[in-house]
Structure 1
Amino acid sequence: MSFSNALSASSPAGATPDGQGDAMPPDRNRGGPVAAAQAPALRARRLMRACDRAALATARRPADDGTGDGDDAAGWPYPSLVLVAFDHDGSPLLLLSTLADHTRNLLADGRVGLLFDATAGLAQPLTGARLSVLGRAERSDDPVHRERYLRRHPDAAFYAGFADFAIYRVAVERAHLVAGFGRIHRLSAAELDLPAPAPALAAGEAALLDQLNGEGYGSRLVPIADGDGASSREGWSLTGLDPEGCDLRRGGYVARVDFEQRIPDPESAKLMLDTLIRPQDGCGQPGGSTSGSEGAGTGTAGGEGG
């Protein structure tokens, strides 16, 4: 498992030591529960869920606030940086302030684009993986969405209670995955979103996370440091569990461990995590490759099934 800074990273998942490798883990279907035709959607979800930030594109609204931009600015693409979390079905969750231009833009026109980048550390970034997601952002007052976001970004609790801040859920309509040079996939919302919800897991997630963190599972899921010391097992905690994997954080570093099959409930999640930590506690890391980063991390434990 390698960790890297999001702005000057090294060794994303699947990359070779010289940075020439593919930024996505290799396919490991091998007769697993997910057919090969579904692999691009799974790879896209894994890339997306591993990120804790994205570039957000909105359409510039007509100026109405005395900025001097004028109506000729309306409609121009407006890029900005946002932190992201995800609903259990993979829908992106954003915490936005109505004082920000991008929020005012999407309130006028809910169509948004999000770019998720897994090219950090590659000598040739354009050979790496990235995902463009198009959808519509709508405010969400669902407490589950708020809780998932704040577990992913605990520092945001400082300002999340301000009157101008709210959670916005992006309902995905389509996506465009570039999994490497010449490996392009166009995905529909039905392909990118999980096909079946896991209400039992969502309902029991918070309690299970408390239990697992109390038992030190976070540190036991992370491999021993591999050079830069970022992957030291100490201090890691689980911040999220969804049907396809779990999220971890230690300070400014985040990591992702993907499951080899989907899990429907807390009991299945606990069993899955138990199988993953046993190799860690005994003779090394679980099968597959993992990586994380300060700001943007990916991980894989097991195969491409899900």
Structure 2
Amino acid sequence: MKDQPSPLRETDDEARKLARVLLRSARYAAIAVLDPETGFPFASRVLLATDIDGAPVILVSRLSAHTKALTSDPRASLLTGEPGKGDPLAHGRLTTQCLATPIERGHVLYERIRTRFLDRHEKAKLYIDFPDFLFFRLEPEQASLNGGFGRAYLLEGRDLIIQSPANEEVAAKADETVQDLIGRHPDIAERLATRLRAPESGSWRICGIDPAGFDIVSGDFLLRYEFETLAVDSDHICSNISKIAYSIP
């Protein structure tokens, strides 16, 4: 009997970029954890943001079933990727297997993650500081990408993480960088939305920057743009964003 051909394609840069965008452009995700009492998989829905290196972050209540499960066993899977018109299976989706680390008040990453989460999810300010809520940072271990029929890939966790020495500097100056951009170019978010062919919506705003790209948001819409190469510092990010917004199509 002949060996069956593998359904997996060789993972290339195009697949890695698609996977990163599917993860970093998601406002929410399906999360699967292991029920500590029965061992059965338990699936739920969570709001999603990213840390400065692209690692996914969730905000959860200590009372929820998935929080109790993650406290008992840090293994979790996230499903991201939105179906469009026609067959839902024809659209890209990414399953990311992660290890969860709780980020509570007083943790060195807490304020940064809180700021980045609120930049993406403004309505979360209604409950983000409730004492029974905490963050989990989900460290990608490996991922399975399905880019549509016949486009299956396996990725390693590092394929989804921004490997840049500029991460900490960019994080420290993120708000200042965005405000500087807006001060010099008040219409920059709308220009970016136009250039990226964003859906018609209300006003757009920049809700996140990092060495690999930026995010813009308007209501329920979120768009992620990845730079061709990693930016080396905040000035480089400003330059990249300005060129995208104002260069001749």
TM-score bracket, normalised by the shorter chain, equals: 0.7 to 0.9
Provide TM-score, normalisation by structure 1: 0.71
The equivalent residue for 2:177 is: 208
What CA deviation, in whole Å up to 9, does each residue of 1:25-58 have, x standing for no partner? xxxxxxxxxxx83332222101111111100001
State whether residues 119 and 208 of structure 2, in contact with CA within 8 Å, keep that contact through their aligned partners in structure 1.
yes
Shift of residue 225, structure 1, vs aligned partner: 11
Which of 118, 138, 148 aligns to 1:150? It is 118
Q: How does 1:69-218 map to 2 (within 5 A)?
A: 74-118=38-82, 120-140=83-103, 141=107, 142=109, 143-198=111-166, 199-214=168-183, 215-218=186-189
Which of 61, 66, 71 aligns to 2:36? It is 61
Task: Give the whole-Å Cα distance in 1 for the aligned partners of 2:47 and 2:246.
Answer: 33
- Give ranges in structure 1 of 5+ residues lacking alignment: 1-35, 63-73, 287-306
State whether residues 246 and 258 of structure 1, in contact with CA within 8 Å, keep that contact through their aligned partners in structure 2.
yes
Which of 50, 55, 64 aligns to 2:25? It is 50
In 2 relative to 1, CA 225–240 (structure 1 residues): closer, same or farther, beyond 3 Å? closer
What CA deviation, in whole Å up to 9, does each residue of 1:186-217 have, x standing for no partner? 11112222233422212211111223344232
What amino acid does structure 2 have at the position aligned with 1:133? T
Alignment of 1:271 onto 2:248: no
Aligned-residue CA RMSD in angstroms? 2.1
Over the matched positions of the two proteins, sequence identity in percent amounts to 32
Which piece of structure 1 moves more, 184-193 or 208-217? Answer: 208-217
In 2 relative to 1, CA 216–254 (structure 1 residues): closer, same or farther, beyond 3 Å? same
State whether residues 19 and 160 of structure 2, in contact with CA within 8 Å, keep that contact through their aligned partners in structure 1.
yes
Provide TM-score, normalisation by structure 2: 0.86
State whether residues 200 and 264 of structure 1, in contact with CA within 8 Å, keep that contact through their aligned partners in structure 2.
no
In 2 relative to 1, CA 100–213 (structure 1 residues): closer, same or farther, beyond 3 Å? farther
State whether residues 174 and 188 of structure 1, in contact with CA within 8 Å, keep that contact through their aligned partners in structure 2.
yes
- Give ranges in structure 2 of 5+ residues lacking alignment: 1-10
- Where has structure 1 moved over 3 Å in runs of 4 or more? none
Which piece of structure 1 moves more, 95-104 or 120-129? Answer: 120-129
State whether residues 48 and 116 of structure 1, in contact with CA within 8 Å, keep that contact through their aligned partners in structure 2.
yes
Task: Give the whole-Å Cα distance in 2 for the aligned partners of 1:257 and 1:89.
Answer: 15
Q: Which has the higher contact order (CA 8 A, sep 6+)?
A: 1
Shift of residue 137, structure 1, vs aligned partner: 0.9
